[in-house]
Amino acid sequence: MVHWSPADLDALLCQLRDEGFRVIGPSVRDGAIVYTDIDALPVGVGDDQEAGRYRLRERGDKTRFGYNLGPSSFKQYLFPSREELFAYADGDIVPAPLDDEKLAFVGVRACELAAIQVLDRVFQGDGFKDRRYQARRQNLLIVAVDCSQSAPTCFCASSDDGPGVGEGADLVLTELLDDGEPSYYVRAGSERGAELLAASEADAASPELQGRARAVVDETREGLERLLPREGLRDALLGALDHPHWQELAERCLACGNCTQVCPTCFCSTAVEETDPVSLRVSHVRQWDSCFTAGHSYVHGGPVHAGIASRYRQWLTHKLASWEDQFGRSGCTGCGRCISWCPVGIDLTAEAEALRRTP
């Protein structure tokens, strides 16, 4: 455990790039914090969020991690929104090459780390292994950061997925502020992380600094405003498939798919065939899909989930109920993105509570 300055953090980014990593982290783009290739971290950027609302603001300090989650997640780099799986060319089936690029995710929050671990269960579980996901995952280095603030839409404590980072990261940072100037309490979570700390030659963290880091996480947890009722939720949702509240939800829901687009664990996809008219090469492409689209549940004769009420029920009961049976835990890590980025402000936590009540 060491104490870093912003310069030490910048040096880490340079070292990772020198080692051949593609460094992915937060950047300000189009009025939001998104994850993309970075040279430097954003300074002094915060945000205001509520159901159906997201705005960036200046914090008035020099924090690098003073923002809450924006619309993009790290999922897009492990499970891309669109990728070729194989092609038909000259009478042969040609698999697309595996992606062996070295990735370094910087600024991973606790709920996002939990989401990556959920995707691990989906794509690397006992029942199914996705070779393309595995190739990216094994070359991944994770630099996580404890949350030092929360948005009103956050509820990670409800699923025990935050705000403090648990296991699974190579390095974990806690950002501390002194008169607007940040420094970092840094601990290793893996052998590779320990090697990076040793190479930095930074001062060891004092007991006082460790105590401040714990206090940051505790204060953030106490500031969480939303709660997802978890006890008995699975059985309650699966026992409420005919609840009239689904129809009331359908009158508000636009079926736009924003919630599934921003969710760090949604993994629905579809496959399409694309033909090059000149070479006649046919590509088999996997791309993200959503259970809110009309064609997602299409079978011969029409869609299984023809109406919005049915589609929302499919999403919520899978995410919070049947996911438990498939993967041993809920599919929700409490990031709150689906609340902030719903254009009509539908709140998953409020809807789950309403459905727990019998009509």
- Residue 90's pLDDT band (boundaries 50, 70, 90)? confident
pLDDT digits (tens, 9 = 90+) for 167-221: 999 999 999 999 999 999 999 999 999 999 988 888 888 999 999 999 999 999 9
pTM reported for the whole predicted model: 0.95
Cα distances (Å, whole numbers) of residue 97 to 83, 102, 119, 342:
11, 15, 21, 36
Q: In whole angstroms, give the CA distance from residue 302 to residue 250.
A: 20
Distance between CA atoms of 84 and 88, rounded to whole angstroms? Answer: 11
As a whole number, the mean pLDDT across the chain is 94
Query: How confident is the model over 282-291, as pLDDT tens digits?
Result: 999 999 999 9
Using alpha carbons, list the distances in angstroms from residue 37 to 52, 98, 101, 164, 326: 27, 20, 13, 25, 34
- pLDDT of residue 130 exceeding 90, the answer is yes
Residue 204, SS3 per DSSP: strand
- The string of DSSP codes covering 126-166 is SS---HHHHHHHTTEEEEEE--SS--TT--GGGGT--SS--
pLDDT on residue 359: 56
Half-sphere exposure of 254 (CA within 13 A, CB side): 12
Task: Determine the pLDDT at residue 271.
Answer: 94
